């Protein structure tokens, strides 16, 4: 199984002036799924969030506001725990199962995608600052 990179999206946070991980998650989930609804595109069968209970609940709140019902899980990095909306207790599975290996591959692919984007943005900002000085 390979990642559908054409389905990956970058989002610049538009509504916040300060860092707020949960508000950022609500904004991104709202924008992504509102657009899919408006364009009558197929919704996913499952949403995997890179994060724990706070991120999952923020995404869940955004989906509820849109009246969208899609299964949602979060994969927290520390212990590779799986979080479900509104459930403070994580699910813990054997790390070497095919399911956990697949979930980590999904999370890692999207993480690499976002990290490379952020590096590119920083490099462009640095280049622009250097050009202004010369």
> Could you state, in order of their start, the residue ranges of all structural domains in the chain?
7-133
Query: What would the pLDDT profile of 62-116 be if each residue is shown by its tens digit?
Result: 999 999 999 999 998 778 899 999 999 999 999 999 999 999 888 888 878 877 7
Task: Tell me how far apart the alpha carbons of residues 124 and 110 are, in angstroms, rounded to a whole number.
Answer: 21
Specify the CATH number of the domain 7-133.
Answer: 3.30.420.340
Going by C-alpha positions, the residue among 45, 23, 51, 42 that lies closest to residue 114 is 51
pTM, to two decimals: 0.80
């Amino acid at each position: 199984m390979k990642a559908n990179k054409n389905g990956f999206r970058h989002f610049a946070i538009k509504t916040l002036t300060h860092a707020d991980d949960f508000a950022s998650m609500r904004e991104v989930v709202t924008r992504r799924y509102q657009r899919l609804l408006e364009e009558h595109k197929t919704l996913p069968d499952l949403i995997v969030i890179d994060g724990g209970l706070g991120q999952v609940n923020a995404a869940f709140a955004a989906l509820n506001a849109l009246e969208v019902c899609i299964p949602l899980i979060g994969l927290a990095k520390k212990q590779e725990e799986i979080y479900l909306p509104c459930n403070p207790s994580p699910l813990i599975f054997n790390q070497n199962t095919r399911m956990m290996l697949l979930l980590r591959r999904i999370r890692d692919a999207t993480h690499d995608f976002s990290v490379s984007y952020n590096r590119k943005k920083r490099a462009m900002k640095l280049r622009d600052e250097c050009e202004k000085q010369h």
